[in-house]
């Protein structure tokens, strides 16, 4: 496996992962933050956004911290997520991954953030809090 030494930047705000019905309209609050991800499948509408924007009645998993891989990566760069997920899995930390055209984002539960940062640094990555 190719190993990459990456720099990750931790967002200060808390995020949530929401699940709506597959045919639900995309709510206005879903795209109000600076970082959000909206994915529709035949089974669900999944929204990741700052948890402060989400109405109480929405089904979601709250309390996620987001780490962004700094910079832009080429599509030919293989093993980026594996380089990050392996040390976290070995530390017993679950993740939620979002990939974009330029980079990757990892979400870890807030109570796992310190342990995640330690595991990533031990694996050779830099983490900016």
- Listing DSSP states for 47-107 in one string gives EEEEGGGS-TTS-EEEEEEEEEEPS---TT--SHHHHHHHHHHHTT---EEEE-SS-EEEE
Provide the pLDDT for residue 98.
Answer: 97
Kindly state the percentage of the chain with pLDDT values over 90: 91
pLDDT at 60: 97
Residue 1's pLDDT is 52
Pairing of strands 7-10, 126-128: parallel
Quick one: how far is CA 69 from the chain centroid?
Answer: 10
Residue with tokens 């967002």: 11
Q: In Å, how far are 30, 83, 129 from 9, measured between CA atoms?
A: 22, 16, 6
Average pLDDT of every residue of the chain: 95
Say what the pTM is.
0.92
CATH number of 7-128: 3.30.2130.10
pLDDT in tens, 35-83: 999 999 999 999 999 999 999 999 999 999 999 999 998 887 888 999 9
């Amino acid at each position: 496996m190719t190993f990459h030494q990456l720099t990750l930047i931790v967002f200060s705000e808390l995020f949530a992962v929401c699940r709506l019905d597959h045919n639900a309209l995309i709510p206005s609050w879903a795209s109000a933050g600076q970082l959000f991800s909206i994915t529709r499948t035949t089974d669900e509408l999944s929204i990741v956004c700052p948890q402060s924007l989400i109405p109480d009645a929405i089904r979601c998993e709250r309390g996620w911290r987001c780490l962004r891989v700094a910079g832009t990566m080429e599509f030919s760069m293989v093993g980026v997520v594996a380089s990050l997920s392996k040390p976290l899995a070995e530390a017993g930390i679950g993740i939620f991954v979002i990939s974009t055209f330029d980079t990757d984002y990892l979400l870890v539960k807030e109570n796992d953030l310190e342990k995640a940062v330690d595991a990533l640094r031990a694996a050779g990555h830099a983490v900016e809090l």
